[in-house]
Each structure stands twice: as structure tokens, then as C-alpha cells.
Amino acid sequence: MSSATSKAKTKVPMLSDQDQPEIQQTYIRLQNELQALARKIGELESEADEHTLVLSTLDEALAEDPDRKCFRLIGGVLVERTVKEVNPALKTNRDGIHKVIATLAEQYKTKEKELDSFKKDYSIRPVQA
């Protein structure tokens, strides 16, 4: 009796031949969504790093000459501004990017838990070559 209870495992639902492709498609879809979120987070982190680099340069220029000309690309148009006008806008943009990254990171964690749960429910394991 004790050997039967010690070997108790989670029951895997019986799958028909029609269910398997559907499960595989769902698994692939979840993996693709995770990859897309990771890719977007990476892009935004890179953009935030660029903003930080530009801001460090502008901070130096702001200390020396706040009315110094600088150019900013807005919607594909290069616009002439002063350092004191551009600096706050860039800080706001960078902070917004960091907020979006945090939101996407939470979505990533949620999606990762969903994928792990799905893998556990259907006893999905990676195929070893």
C-alpha cells in the first residue's frame, strides 16, 4: 500500500491524436510570446541606455551653456532646440521607457508562469538530442 502511494504521480490527461497538435501549437505560441516580450524589453533597455548616454552629454553642456543649440529628431524631422529645452523632455522619455520596461517585465513573468503551468499540466519536457 505504501509503494502505491509513494509512486503517485500527477495524472496526465489522455490525449487524442487531434489534441496533440493543438497542445503543440499552444506551447509554441506561448514560447513565441515570451521571446517577443524578451526582445521588446531588450530593445527598450537599449533605447533607455542611449537616452542616458545623451543625457550625460547634455548635462555637461547644460552646466556650461544652457542656451547652446542642439538638434532633436522628432517624428523623422530634425528640430533645432536649446539644451535646456531638450534635457527635461529626454528625462521624461527615459523615465517613461523605464516604466514600460517594468510593465513588460511583469507581463514576462506572468507569461513565464503560464508556460510553466502549461508544461506541468501536459508533462512537456524538452527533447534531448
Domain holding 95: CATH number?
Answer: 1.10.287.370
Alpha carbons 87 and 93: distance in angstroms, whole number = 10
**Which residue reads 521588446 in cell numbers?**
40
- Flag whether 127 is in a domain: no
- Flag whether 129 is in a domain: no
Q: For residue 111, give every residue at least 6 positions away whose Cβ sits within 8 Å of its Cβ, in sequence order, or none.
A: 30, 33, 34, 37
- Flag whether 2 is in a domain: no
- Flag whether 11 is in a domain: no
- Flag whether 14 is in a domain: no
Domain count for the chain: 1
Alpha carbons 116 and 27: distance in angstroms, whole number = 10
Q: Which helix (H) or strand (E) holds 6?
A: helix 2-6
> What pLDDT, on the 0 to 100 scale, is given for residue 32?
98
> What pLDDT, on the 0 to 100 scale, is given for residue 9?
47
- Pull the grid cell for residue 98: 523605464
Q: What does the DSSP 8-state code read for residue 43? A: H
N- to C-terminal Cα separation, the chain: 38
- Integer-rounded Cα radius of gyration of the chain: 25
- Pull the grid cell for residue 4: 502505491
> What is the residue type of 120?
K
- Flag whether 87 is in a domain: yes
Question: What does each of the 129 residues of the chain score in pLDDT, given as a tens digit?
Answer: 444 444 444 455 666 766 989 999 999 999 999 999 999 999 999 999 999 999 999 999 999 999 999 999 999 999 999 999 999 999 999 999 999 999 999 999 999 999 999 999 999 888 887
Alpha carbons 95 and 128: distance in angstroms, whole number = 43
- Flag whether 57 is in a domain: yes
Report how far apart, in Å, the C-alpha atoms of 33 and of each of 8, 43, 70, 101 are.
34, 15, 39, 16
- Flag whether 82 is in a domain: yes
* Domain containing residue 115: 20-121
